[in-house]
Amino acid sequence: MKKLSRFYIGLVLAFLYLPILVLIVFSFNASKSRNVWAGFTLDWYKELFSNEVIISSLISTLIVAVIASLIATVLGTAAAVGIYSMKKTPRNIILNISYLPIINPEIVTGVSLMMLFLFLGFKRDYTTLIMAHITFCVPYVILNVMPKLRQLNPNLFEAAQDLGCHPMKAFFRVILPEIMPGVLSGMLISFTYSVDDFVISYFTSDIQTLPITIYSMTRRRVSPEINALSAIIFVVVLLVLIVMNLADARRAKRMNVPARY
């Protein structure tokens, strides 16, 4: 039974990561062919950093993702604290409403936001793009912060005030450090979804983000430079996850509690 379980887990992992491994391998292929290996080269990585279209799209994507994720983190954390302080019935209602953008199909959200921006007379630029990304990022922050708030000692905030701490100071000195893992997780998830988004970005702005640029390339032929860029993004994300897991493991060890991962 254990061998079967291990085989099944290995099969699932191979299904998930084998395509990424193939992509990384062919990012070093000397040929543009996606079927024939013609030798090892770093030319595609060199051409990647000289391709103005891809670099410009990547910079635009990162700018939007950073701004949207930071604003969404602040708004989502404040919303989570406010929702948590409500009574049970209104809290459940507001939570269900706030999770609608996660369940709602992106095509519906994208078209709805496009019509709203047109109705309000907004130009399809960075402003509408960032606003749209904040809209679907906030629920992910709430989703990550709420469990941390439920784990808090309900008397912690009042105890800080009894000791002479101002409510705002008590929040930043006592509550925020306790829920920080959830805040950081929400911010990283928001950043990832913002970088990855295509449908909502396509409908709400004329800015060329990286997913839109790659989509326009698929009409002709995907450049091997995209393989190189995808490999770099995968490695960066992997390193971030490793660092987070190590930091979480050290924190759990200091507090003598099990790590999350």
pLDDT tens for each residue of 122-179: 888 899 999 999 999 999 999 999 988 888 877 777 777 777 777 787 788 888 888 8
What amino acid occupies position 23?
Answer: L
Looking at residue 137, its pLDDT comes to 93
* C-alpha to C-alpha distance for 212 and 210, rounded to whole angstroms: 5
Looking at residue 257, its pLDDT comes to 52
Q: Please give the average per-residue pLDDT across 56-83, as a whole number.
A: 93
Domain ranges of the chain: 55-223
List 40's β-bridge partners, or say none. Answer: 29
* C-alpha to C-alpha distance for 34 and 218, rounded to whole angstroms: 14
C-alpha triplet 129, 132, 116: angle, nearest 5°: 100
DSSP state, 99? T
Looking at residue 48, its pLDDT comes to 84
Give domain 55-223's CATH architecture. Orthogonal Bundle (1.10)
Looking at residue 161, its pLDDT comes to 73
pLDDT tens for each residue of 88-126: 888 888 888 888 888 888 899 999 999 999 998 888 889
Going from the C-alpha of 225 to that of each of 53, 194, 210, the distances in angstroms are: 11, 22, 13
When mean pLDDT is compared across 39-43, 90-94, 134-138, 254-258, the lowest value belongs to 254-258
More confidently predicted of 107 and 249: 107
Torsion angle, CA of 169/174/180/183, rounded to 10 degrees? -50
What amino acid occupies position 140?
Answer: Y
User: SS3 for 216?
Assistant: helix
Going from the C-alpha of 248 to that of each of 94, 142, 190, 251, 260, the distances in angstroms are: 31, 20, 20, 5, 7
- Determine the distance from the C-alpha atom of residue 159 to the mean position of all C-alpha atoms in its chain, rounded to a whole number: 35
DSSP state, 27? T
Chain-wide mean pLDDT for the chain? 85
More confidently predicted of 168 and 83: 83
